[in-house]
Structure 1
Amino acid sequence: MGQLVQIVGSLLVLSGFALAQAGVLNPKSLVYLWLNVVGSTVLAIEAVLERQWGFLLLEGVWAVVSAVGLIQVLLRRNRPAAE
C-alpha cells in the first residue's frame, strides 16, 4: 500500500511540474500549488512512516514552500481592490 501512496503523491507533484514546464499551468496558479501541497504532504507523511529522513527533508520543505505560496495567492485573491 505504501508504494501506491508514494506513486500517487509523486504523480501529483510531477503532473503539476510537467504542466508548468509545458506552459499549461502557471507556477503561481491555485491548481499548480494545490498539486504540490497535496502531493508533497502525502510523500512527507510516507517518509515519516518509513523513517526516510532525507526524503522527509525534501518533501517537507517542498510542502511548506508550496503551502506558503498557496496562502499568498489566496490572500491576494481575497484582498479588496485598492481605491
Structure 2
Amino acid sequence: MTELDWAAWVGFVGTACVIGAYAYLTSTDKPNPFILHGTNLAGAALLTVSLVFHTNWPSLVLEGFWAAIAVWGLAKAVRGRKQAR
C-alpha cells in the first residue's frame, strides 16, 4: 500500500473544498458567489499543488480551467457588488 505524503493530503483538502462548494451550491437557494467561487478557487489551487508533485496532466489542465472559472465568477461578483452601490 502506498503511503500518503503531504502533497496527497493537500490534494484531499482541495477535494474537500470543491465538494463542499458544490454541496453549498446545491443546498442553498441564493448562494453567496464569494463563498462559492472562493472555495472553488482554493480547492483548485490546493489540488494544483498536489498535482505538481504527483503529475496527472489531464487533472492539472482541469484544475487550470476550474480556477479560471472561479476567478471569472469572483470578478463577476465584484462587478455586481460595485453596480449595486
Between the aligned partners of 2:83 and 2:30, the Cα distance in structure 1 is 23
- Do 1:19 and 1:25's aligned partners in 2 also have CA atoms closer than 8 Å? no
Q: CA RMSD in A?
A: 1.8
- 2:72 aligns to what SS in structure 1? helix
User: When the two structures are superposed, what TM-score results if normalisation uses the length of structure 1?
Assistant: 0.82
Aligned to 2:42: 38
Unaligned runs of 5+ in 2: 1-5
Q: Percent identity?
A: 24
- Do 1:25 and 1:32's aligned partners in 2 also have CA atoms closer than 8 Å? no
Aligned to 2:23: 18
Matches within 5 A, 1:2-81: 2-23=7-28, 26=31, 29-79=33-83, 81=85
Instruction: Report how many residues are paired.
Output: 80
**Which amino acid in structure 2 is aligned with residue 6 of structure 1?**
G
Decide whether aligned partners of structure 1 residues 25 and 3 sit closer, same or farther in structure 2, where only a CA change above 3 A counts: farther
**1:42 deviation in Å?**
1.4
User: When the two structures are superposed, what TM-score results if normalisation uses the length of structure 2?
Assistant: 0.80
Select the structure with the greater relative contact order (CA < 8 A; seq sep ≥ 6): 2
**1:25 deviation in Å?**
5.6
Unaligned runs of 5+ in 1: none
**1:80 deviation in Å?**
6.5
- 2:23 aligns to what SS in structure 1? helix
